[in-house]
């Protein structure tokens, strides 16, 4: 799929692949329509040559009036077109008292949909492709465009990737206008600004930049506009296409753009001065900037009692460390530092590994890869049997491996705990990076023991503290340290306390 993208230095090695250059006529149709309806129809038919889903409806009226309605059958509601556009036009145009200048009064005949007009060929073509019906008339170069959307869309449901026990149940869908309305129902203010741009030379995908005027920094909005407008791509089919272009360091395993399916998360982030990027045809919304701690926070943290949310957040921190370091610690200690283990435990581990032909690192690596394979298989299988297959498969393979003497029982326990710990990460894209880190840590532990783990930890810290997301340090407010920012990092302070502290800081800032 990478060869669909052009204009990025990263992909210069793909010059021998197809370029997907567009050969249709819409790129050359920057001129305007004429007053000859036959000539205008010829232009459209040449542009949409071999497009069998394009419909042409002729309408004739008094005074030799002729009209032509052009639309794509699958993109509009044909029943509404028939009842609210074609029938009213036929009734009016066949009336003996109707004036000769019928084309100038088309907007009065149409009782449904959003109408606008244009004389440019390229603009008309783009509107037809977006689901408009174009109405051409004799003696006029002006084309009336009527929006009668008929494309079926998914109903609003709970976000499957971010489920909550307590909180809102609605989630974004693949329709950008519906997604913006879900945000506006939560932020009923004129300060909520929405700017549309179009990306994709062939897909013409609508992108919405959303922010709160007066809360967001204008430099951040300008940076978002600059990075989006610099994208040159044939098609934008999902928000991930954009995410890879606008992040600061694309080679990092940590995501620098927050993505979510929940409108309440977007509204909360906008209130904090961030910018949301909505992409048509996908329910995933991008939010910038993102920090390391954003990936560890769940929306449900703010819907439960703050002591419970703080406790759950600390559990999450603990298990994320286990997901990264537990297999490597086991390998390092059992291979190089047996003196750190109590005698009874050493004897138990030695007895379990007596018949195992592989070293501890190979055991942990093998079981880790099998666990990831089962997880991927569970995701790809149908929902009805996916979780069952992954759980039963893990139990059967683990038990069979121990009985066959290929894997020791402690390694099965360690890998199982590690897999469960990785699922505590509330953000899916962030959790993928956490899961990936344990494999290089495993190799370092197998080669250098605890010294390798320390080197790996130093490397992770240096990398995370050097990352930036739209100019914001990835590890802030811990590095650089800001005590006021720690109130929503290590703990979740009460909402009223957070409001008071923010009000007080604003007042102090105003006095200074």
Is position 503 within any domain? no
Alpha-carbon gap, residue 380 to 372, rounded angstroms: 12
Tell me the CA distances in angstroms from 504 to 243, 306, 388, 466, 477, one per residue in order.
36, 21, 52, 31, 19
Q: What percent of the chain shows pLDDT beyond 90?
A: 35
- Residues 193 and 97 placed together within one structural domain of the fold: no
Closest by alpha carbon to 48, among 161, 134, 106?
134
- Residues 331 and 361 placed together within one structural domain of the fold: yes
Is position 217 within any domain? yes
What's the pLDDT tens digit per position in 320-339? Answer: 999 999 999 999 999 998 88
- Residues 349 and 421 placed together within one structural domain of the fold: yes
Is position 490 within any domain? no
Element (H, E) at 67: strand 66-72
What's the pLDDT tens digit per position in 30-52? Answer: 688 888 888 989 999 988 888 88
- Residues 123 and 223 placed together within one structural domain of the fold: no
Alpha-carbon gap, residue 262 to 241, rounded angstroms: 20
Cβ–Cβ < 8 Å for 290, 257: yes
Alpha-carbon gap, residue 50 to 354, rounded angstroms: 71
Copy the structure tokens of residue 135: 């109405």
Rg of the Cα trace of the chain? 30
Taking each helix axis from N to C end, the angle separating 409-422 and 360-380, rounded to the nearest 10 degrees, works out to: 50
Residues contacting 243, CB < 8 A, separation 6+: 255, 257, 259, 286
- Residues 281 and 218 placed together within one structural domain of the fold: yes
Whole-number pLDDT of residue 499 = 62
Q: pTM of this prediction?
A: 0.82
Mean pLDDT of the chain: 83
- Residues 431 and 339 placed together within one structural domain of the fold: yes
DSSP sequence for 203-248: T-EEEEEEEETTTS-HHHHHHHHHHHHT--BS---SHHHHHHHHSS
Whole-number pLDDT of residue 139 = 81
* Cα 379 → chain centroid: 18
Is position 507 within any domain? no
Q: Which of 290, 318, 353 is the last residue of a domain?
A: 290
Is position 504 within any domain? no
Number of domains into which the chain is organized? 3
Is position 9 within any domain? no
Choice among 238-247, 337-346, 441-450, 478-487 with the minimum mean pLDDT: 478-487
- Residues 114 and 186 placed together within one structural domain of the fold: no
- Residues 184 and 104 placed together within one structural domain of the fold: no
* Cα 85 → chain centroid: 37
Place of tokens 């990831």: 372
Whole domain around residue 57: which residue ranges? 31-147
- Residues 417 and 451 placed together within one structural domain of the fold: yes
Residue 312's beta-bridge partner residues? Answer: none
- Residues 341 and 450 placed together within one structural domain of the fold: yes
What's the pLDDT tens digit per position in 134-161? Answer: 988 888 888 888 888 777 778 888 888 8
- Residues 64 and 133 placed together within one structural domain of the fold: yes
Longest pairwise C-alpha distance within the chain: 106
Is position 170 within any domain? no
Is position 446 within any domain? yes
Q: Please, which pLDDT band fits residue 4 given cuts at 50, 70 and 90?
A: very low
- Residues 141 and 224 placed together within one structural domain of the fold: no
């Amino acid at each position: 799929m990478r060869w669909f993208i052009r204009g990025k230095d990263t992909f210069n090695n793909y010059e021998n692949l197809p370029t997907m250059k567009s050969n249709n006529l819409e790129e050359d149709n920057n001129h305007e329509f004429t007053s000859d309806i036959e000539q205008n129809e010829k232009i459209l038919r040449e542009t949409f040559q071999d497009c069998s889903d394009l419909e042409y409806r002729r309408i004739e009226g008094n005074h030799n009036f002729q009209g032509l309605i052009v639309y794509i059958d699958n993109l509009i509601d044909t029943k509404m077109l028939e009842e609210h556009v074609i029938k009213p036009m036929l009734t009016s145009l066949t009336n003996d008292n109707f004036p000769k200048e019928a084309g100038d009064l088309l907007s009065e005949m149409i009782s449904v949909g959003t109408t606008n007009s244009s004389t440019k060929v390229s603009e008309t073509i783009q509107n037809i492709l977006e689901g408009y019906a174009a109405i051409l008339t004799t003696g006029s170069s002006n084309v009336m465009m009527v929006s009668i959307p008929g494309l079926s869309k998914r109903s609003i449901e709970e976000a499957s990737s971010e489920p909550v026990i307590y909180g809102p149940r609605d989630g974004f869908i693949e329709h950008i206008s519906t997604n913006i309305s879900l945000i506006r129902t939560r932020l009923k203010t004129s300060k909520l600004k929405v700017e549309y741009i179009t990306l994709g030379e062939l897909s013409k995908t609508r992108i919405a930049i959303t922010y709160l005027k007066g809360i967001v920094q204008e430099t951040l909005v300008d940076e978002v506009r600059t990075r989006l407008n610099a994208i040159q791509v044939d098609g934008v089919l999902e928000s991930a296409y954009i995410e890879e272009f606008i992040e600061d360091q694309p080679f990092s395993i940590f995501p620098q753009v927050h993505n979510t399916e929940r409108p309440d998360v977007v509204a909360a982030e906008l209130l904090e001065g961030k910018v949301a990027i909505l992409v048509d045809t996908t329910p995933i919304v991008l939010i910038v900037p993102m920090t390391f701690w954003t990936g560890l926070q769940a929306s449900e943290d703010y819907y439960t009692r703050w002591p419970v949310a703080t406790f759950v957040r600390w559990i999450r921190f603990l298990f994320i460390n286990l997901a990264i370091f537990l297999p490597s610690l086991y390998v390092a200690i059992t291979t190089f530092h047996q003196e750190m283990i109590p005698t009874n435990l050493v004897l138990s581990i030695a007895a379990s590994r007596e018949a195992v032909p592989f070293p501890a690192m190979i055991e942990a690596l093998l079981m880790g890869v099998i666990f990831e394979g089962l997880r991927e298989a569970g995701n790809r299988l149908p929902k009805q049997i996916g979780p069952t297959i992954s759980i039963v498969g893990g139990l059967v393979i683990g038990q069979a491996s121990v009985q066959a003497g290929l894997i020791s029982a402690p390694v099965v326990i360690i890998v199982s705990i590690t897999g469960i710990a990785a699922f505590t990460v509330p953000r899916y894209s962030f959790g993928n990076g956490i899961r990936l880190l344990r494999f290089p840590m495993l190799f370092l532990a197998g080669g250098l023991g605890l010294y390798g783990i320390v080197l790996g930890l130093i490397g992770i810290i240096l990398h995370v503290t050097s990352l930036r997301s739209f100019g914001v340090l990835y590890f802030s407010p811990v590095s650089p340290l800001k005590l006021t920012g720690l109130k929503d990092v290590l703990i979740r302070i009460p909402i009223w306390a957070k409001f008071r502290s923010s009000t007080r800081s604003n007042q102090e800032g105003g006095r200074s």
